[in-house]
Amino acid sequence: MVEELYGNYGIMADTTERVGQHKDAYQVILDGVKGGTKEKRLAAQFILKFFKHFTELADSAINAQLDLCEDEDVSIWCQAIKELPQFTTGENLPRVADILMQLLESDGSAEFNLVNNALLSIFNMDGKGTLGSLFSQILQGEDIVREWAIKFLSTKLKTLPDEVLTKEVEELILTESKHVLEDVTHEEFVLFMNYCLG
């Protein structure tokens, strides 16, 4: 399988102008996430490299990457989570942001830090879109995801540069915060006030 992955990578790499015509080769790479450790590592590297050429396989590619984010091998899920923000093109952003929000509930501090960094990365790409997903999780997500999303909002948004926290983004934060504040716990209220007044 490793040789097959390299072979299909080579097919696509050698045809830079017509990569999208090699759907079967890309599918082999996506299927690499079902293989052993070596295959998964290669798939984690190769999936993103050709992602933009196969829009019709975007869901399959993101799902394959998500499988890697849940792998038992630390090096595989670390790589997969680090690369997840690169999948946030256009309509994929809300999905990737929602996934990252759900990954925030993980137990390990290394994974938690990776997810935080990935979320900050997509905020830098599209602050408004990411914020929309964040508030969607706060308003409709499971309790634990809601809790992590509120903590993320109250601690990490202050660290974003001014070019991300535009006036439009700040107005969205205030508007959505009003909706959230209609039904919050005491702790959530304090976190929101710390953010708003900070």
DSSP one-letter string for 119-150 = HHHHHHH-HHHHHHHHHHHHHHS-HHHHHHHH
Helix (H, G, I), strand (E, B) or coil at 166: coil
Spatial contact of 198 and 158, defined as CB atoms under 8 Å apart: yes
User: Quick one: pLDDT at residue 47?
Assistant: 93
Helix (H, G, I), strand (E, B) or coil at 183: coil
User: Quick one: pLDDT at residue 64?
Assistant: 93
Per-residue model confidence as pLDDT tens digits over 20-44: 889 999 999 999 999 999 999 999 8
Distance spanning both ends of the chain, measured CA to CA: 53
In degrees rounded to 5, what are phi and psi of residue 35?
-85, -160
CA distances from 198 to 74, 100, 110, 180, 187 (A): 36, 25, 27, 18, 16
pTM of the model: 0.79
User: Quick one: pLDDT at residue 24?
Assistant: 93
Q: Which residues in the chain come in under a pLDDT of 70?
A: 16, 105-108, 195-198
